[in-house]
Structure 1
């Protein structure tokens, strides 16, 4: 008998989709991708889609445009058969392009809002979207869920010495506060300055007494090139802290970022499986299941 629920596993999120389908007792549909010489993808679904409700799971990480087109294609196919299609986008690419920072910049999240609606999604679920402003450009239902409780559970199992939660910048202050509250510790936020044109990062915070002889958890929503984390770690190490751990939801870790972060003095990077990789230790499927 065909399940009332189908989980369609996009190639970028096979692990999350598989775990999610078990948790919500849904029929798992796998996808096969054939990439042609010119870069085009041909997608084939293996399984029967539910007529009632489908859940498409596909993260939009690099190659971003390829994974985005595949997500839209899967939603479109699901909508041909299912009366309702929920798009689970664990990592929402383009979320940093949520407003016009410099004159003439295109707000790509506004474009995505139209594309997801046009493809047939009735609701979008994302995990720790970079900015909630991005979702204001969507006319369909949206839900953002937090990976913080799951990440904190991992850190509670470690024997940390008088831990302190640190945000690498003021923008992540609320995230650090929430993380510290769940962990039962204190938190601080560093001050950084980023050049909008060159992307270079500077730490503006002066000396800190409260980090000495303590294990630190640097908390961020995403790590792309790791510039902010490297600068923050170098600064914190000078303040005589003990171990430095990094906790993030989305570990993109582009251009040798992991190597550079470890070289700066980070003991371990812990991320979720929104983006599969060596650091993706924490499973987010339970949080997504609750949201569905």
Structure 2
């Protein structure tokens, strides 16, 4: 609502208003998953357009389908190159990139390519009613390797925790976690580290203690 009010007021001074929304949380509800659910993303898109936004800029939106609800230009900025730059500085020897689910496979592939390494994708299922996550992969060859689990959003940390527990059983070495949007609801960060993660890195789309990657410059270039 605050963003809508600012855009409405800004229209009095300019006809070209760009809405920069680094974390578009509503994108997780871009369609009806269960009967009776509201497609929140559709409503948000209509409101932003109604108050006068002429362009919307987001960072690593959860589902690109969400942008189809807009009738104005949209830009989806990727944080993957910036995250890769950060991890290169850590000088981890031959890290193996892991996507916690098939939906993030292309993200992991791009991240691994920038780090000049390989990647794997785990198979995951989530109960839409309970939110419970299960890793369906049976076995992966990560013995003795340092791993980087890459995801776009970490909320409760359920997927990351399950993936970490599974990978630890495969006798991997250290596990690092990288994400664009670190919500870390409740004590998610503590639970993730307790599961066996050595370090968590996120961008500053949501300011946290884990926010080591600045997206301001990349966003500025997209305007």
Superposition TM-score, scaled by structure 1 size: 0.75
Task: Compute the RMSD of aligned alpha carbons.
Answer: 0.7
**Given the alignment, which residue of 189, 194, 197 partners 1:258?**
189
Corresponding position of 1:155: 87
User: Aligned with 2:23: secondary structure?
Assistant: coil
**Given the alignment, which residue of 223, 236, 241 partners 2:172?**
241
Corresponding position of 1:195: 127
Corresponding position of 1:89: 21
Runs of at least 5 residues in structure 1 that lack an aligned partner in the other structure: 1-68
Corresponding position of 1:145: 77
Q: What CA deviation, in whole Å up to 9, does each residue of 1:108-161 have, x standing for no partner?
A: 111011100011110000000000111101111111010000000000011212
Aligned mates of 1:100, 1:264 — CA distance in 2:
33
User: Aligned with 2:184: secondary structure?
Assistant: coil
Superposition TM-score, scaled by structure 2 size: 0.98
Instruction: Tell whether 2:216 aligns with 1:285.
Output: yes
Corresponding position of 2:146: 215
Aligned mates of 1:142, 1:135 — CA distance in 2:
7
Deviation, structure 1 residue 71? 0.9
Aligned mates of 1:165, 1:204 — CA distance in 2:
18
Q: What CA deviation, in whole Å up to 9, does each residue of 1:89-121 have, x standing for no partner?
A: 000021110011112211111101110001111
Aligned mates of 1:109, 1:208 — CA distance in 2:
36
Corresponding position of 1:129: 61
Instruction: Tell whether 2:206 aligns with 1:275.
Output: yes
User: Aligned with 1:157: secondary structure?
Assistant: helix
Aligned mates of 2:51, 2:61 — CA distance in 1:
21
Aligned length: 223
Choose 1 or 2 for highest CA Rg: 1
Instruction: Tell whether 2:110 aligns with 1:110.
Output: no
Corresponding position of 1:173: 105
